[in-house]
């Protein structure tokens, strides 16, 4: 299989949300001819203004592109976009490549791969690790499952949007690894929230506490930037709370199916869900605000919230 370079592959992109629009623009900036579709036409037109082409519908997009990428919200959206009567598989030509970038269940990825194989479409699950700033800068980490030859052919696309990318195994391996990664991401944020509240309650200055904590070895790189935003009570969604909540559900479902207990994950999910019930448009780091409010830290109640 030849390399999927800008001069050999027309790309189609479905789902231009916070992550999708940034990834799509990176691909356009790297010279790829890009056709886009989103249910919100304004999002598609914003990419078109930067050199992309808006497709009228998914069938048109599928019939035009050599490679289709998608960044959607959940399993249901992915299955609808691909397997519906006017979906990708209904319109794609045999030999089309799909790079599916949504965080869905591993079984959902495998189901998509099997369906694609039935119509001559090759599918990789390409799960994304990284926030919106990383997407904008092209320094994401990609966790990939599927055929190794296709993985090698798609490397020029991966290099346009990611700092590093890894083939984990067969279909579903990429999304499985994403659940592993997001387990640590979500539990880590909850642990930080509890530790910060402890520090505040025993008399440490909040701003100084967060500053020093960010310089210690115990804070993962993914959480460092969160501490600077938390310091000014900025919980605007880089990685939305609702998506972390959805990922917790996928993680705990996979754990239940594997018959393994995940008590720390279950506890972090509970606090995430409580915060989601109060502020559904925040960042997943807003669990710190939830813990501060539960602890009765007075100045948090009057803190401004960036949406």
What confidence score (pLDDT) does residue 279 get?
87
Q: Which residues are bridge partners to 36 per DSSP?
A: 13, 54
> In terms of domains, do 44 and 86 share one?
yes
> In terms of domains, do 148 and 220 share one?
no
In terms of Cα–Cα distance, which of 173, 180, 204 is closest to 265? 180
- Cα–Cα distance measured from residue 38 to residue 100, given in angstroms and rounded to the nearest whole number: 15
What confidence score (pLDDT) does residue 299 get?
55
CATH assignment at residue 271: 1.10.1040.10
> In terms of domains, do 15 and 104 share one?
yes
Q: Which residues are bridge partners to 122 per DSSP?
A: 97
With 70 as the cut, is the pLDDT of residue 305 above it? no
Residue the block writes with tokens 């803190």? 303
Average pLDDT over residues 161-178: 97
Of the pLDDT bands very low, low, confident and very high (cuts 50, 70, 90), residue 301 is very low
Average pLDDT over residues 273-279: 94
Query: Tens digits of per-residue pLDDT, 197-242?
Result: 999 999 999 999 999 999 999 999 989 999 999 999 999 998 999 9
> In terms of domains, do 190 and 237 share one?
yes
What confidence score (pLDDT) does residue 169 get?
97
What confidence score (pLDDT) does residue 238 get?
87
Maximum pairwise Cα distance, the chain: 65
> In terms of domains, do 54 and 101 share one?
yes
**List of long-range contacts for 86-89, beta carbons under 8 Å, 24+ apart:** 86/57, 86/58, 86/59, 87/58, 87/59, 87/62, 88/14, 88/58, 88/61, 88/62, 88/121, 89/62, 89/115, 89/116, 89/119, 89/121
Would residue 127 count as lying in a domain? yes
Average pLDDT over residues 73-81: 95
Is-contact 158 45, C-beta < 8 A? no
Is-contact 245 276, C-beta < 8 A? yes
Would residue 1 count as lying in a domain? no
Would residue 5 count as lying in a domain? no
**Mean pLDDT score of the chain, rounded to an integer?**
94
> In terms of domains, do 132 and 81 share one?
yes
Would residue 6 count as lying in a domain? no
Residue the block writes with tokens 């690790």? 129
Give how far the C-alpha of residue 303 lies from the chain's centroid of Cα atoms, to the nearest Å: 28
Look at the chain and count its residues: 307
> In terms of domains, do 147 and 251 share one?
no
Of the pLDDT bands very low, low, confident and very high (cuts 50, 70, 90), residue 65 is very high
DSSP sequence for 207-254: HHHHHHHTTSTTS-HHHHHHHHHHHTT----SSBHHHHHHHHHHHHHH
With 80 as the cut, is the pLDDT of residue 291 above it? yes
Last residue of a domain, one of 171, 206, 222: 171
What confidence score (pLDDT) does residue 298 get?
56
- Cα–Cα distance measured from residue 112 to residue 124, given in angstroms and rounded to the nearest whole number: 9
What's the domain count of the chain?
2
- Cα–Cα distance measured from residue 162 to residue 164, given in angstroms and rounded to the nearest whole number: 5
Look up the domain containing 103 and give its range. Answer: 11-171
- Cα–Cα distance measured from residue 255 to residue 183, given in angstroms and rounded to the nearest whole number: 11
Would residue 292 count as lying in a domain? yes
Residue 217: burial class (beta carbons within 10 Å; 0-12, 13-18, 19+): exposed
Last residue of a domain, one of 171, 203, 236: 171
Of the pLDDT bands very low, low, confident and very high (cuts 50, 70, 90), residue 303 is very low
Would residue 3 count as lying in a domain? no
Would residue 306 count as lying in a domain? no
> In terms of domains, do 34 and 76 share one?
yes
Query: Tens digits of per-residue pLDDT, 104-147?
Result: 999 999 999 999 999 999 999 999 999 888 999 999 999 999 99
> In terms of domains, do 23 and 166 share one?
yes
Of the pLDDT bands very low, low, confident and very high (cuts 50, 70, 90), residue 44 is very high
Q: Which residues are bridge partners to 138 per DSSP?
A: none
Q: Which of 176-180, 260-264, 268-272, 296-300 has the lowest mean pLDDT?
A: 296-300
- Cα–Cα distance measured from residue 221 to residue 163, given in angstroms and rounded to the nearest whole number: 14
Tell me the whole-structure pTM to 2 decimals: 0.92
What confidence score (pLDDT) does residue 302 get?
43
Q: Which residues are bridge partners to 50 per DSSP?
A: none
Listed in order, strand segments (DSSP E) in 67-112 are 67-70, 97-100
| Encoded tokens for 7 | 């001069």
Average pLDDT over residues 44-48: 92
> In terms of domains, do 36 and 164 share one?
yes
> In terms of domains, do 188 and 207 share one?
yes
> For the chain, what percent of residues have pLDDT higher than 70?
97
- Cα–Cα distance measured from residue 121 to residue 192, given in angstroms and rounded to the nearest whole number: 43
Last residue of a domain, one of 171, 187, 221: 171
> In terms of domains, do 197 and 89 share one?
no
CATH assignment at residue 74: 3.40.50.720
Would residue 235 count as lying in a domain? yes
**List of long-range contacts for 213-216, beta carbons under 8 Å, 24+ apart:** none
């Amino acid at each position: 299989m030849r390399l999927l370079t800008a001069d050999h592959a027309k790309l189609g992109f479905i789902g231009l949300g916070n992550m999708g629009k940034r990834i799509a623009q990176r691909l356009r900036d790297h010279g790829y001819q890009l056709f886009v579709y989103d249910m919100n036409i304004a999002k598609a037109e914003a990419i078109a203004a930067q050199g992309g082409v808006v497709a009228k519908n998914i069938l048109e997009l599928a019939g035009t592109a050599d490679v289709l990428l998608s960044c959607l919200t959940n399993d249901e959206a992915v299955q609808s976009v691909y397997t519906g009567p006017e979906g990708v598989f209904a319109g794609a030509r045999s030999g089309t490549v799909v790079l599916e970038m949504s965080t869905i269940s591993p079984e959902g990825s495998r189901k998509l791969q099997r369906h694609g194989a039935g119509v001559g479409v090759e599918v990789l699950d390409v799960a994304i690790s990284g926030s919106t700033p990383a997407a904008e800068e092209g320094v994401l980490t990609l966790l990939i499952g599927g055929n190794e030859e296709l993985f090698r052919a798609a490397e020029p696309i991966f290099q346009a949007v990611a700092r590093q990318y890894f083939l984990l195994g067969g279909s579903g391996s990429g999304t499985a690894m994403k659940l592993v990664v997001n387990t640590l991401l979500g539990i880590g944020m909850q642990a930080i929230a509890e530790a910060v509240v402890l520090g505040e309650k025993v008399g440490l200055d909040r701003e100084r506490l967060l500053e020093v904590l960010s310089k210690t070895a115990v804070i993962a790189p993914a959480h460092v930037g969160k501490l600077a935003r938390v310091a000014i009570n900025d919980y605007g969604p880089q990685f939305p709370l609702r998506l972390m909540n959805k990922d917790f559900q996928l993680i705990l479902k996979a754990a239940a199916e594997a018959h393994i207990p995940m008590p720390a994950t279950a506890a972090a999910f509970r606090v995430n869900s409580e915060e989601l019930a109060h502020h559904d448009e925040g960042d997943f780091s807003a669990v710190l605000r939830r813990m501060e409010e539960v602890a009765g830290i007075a100045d948090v109640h009057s803190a401004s919230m960036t949406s």
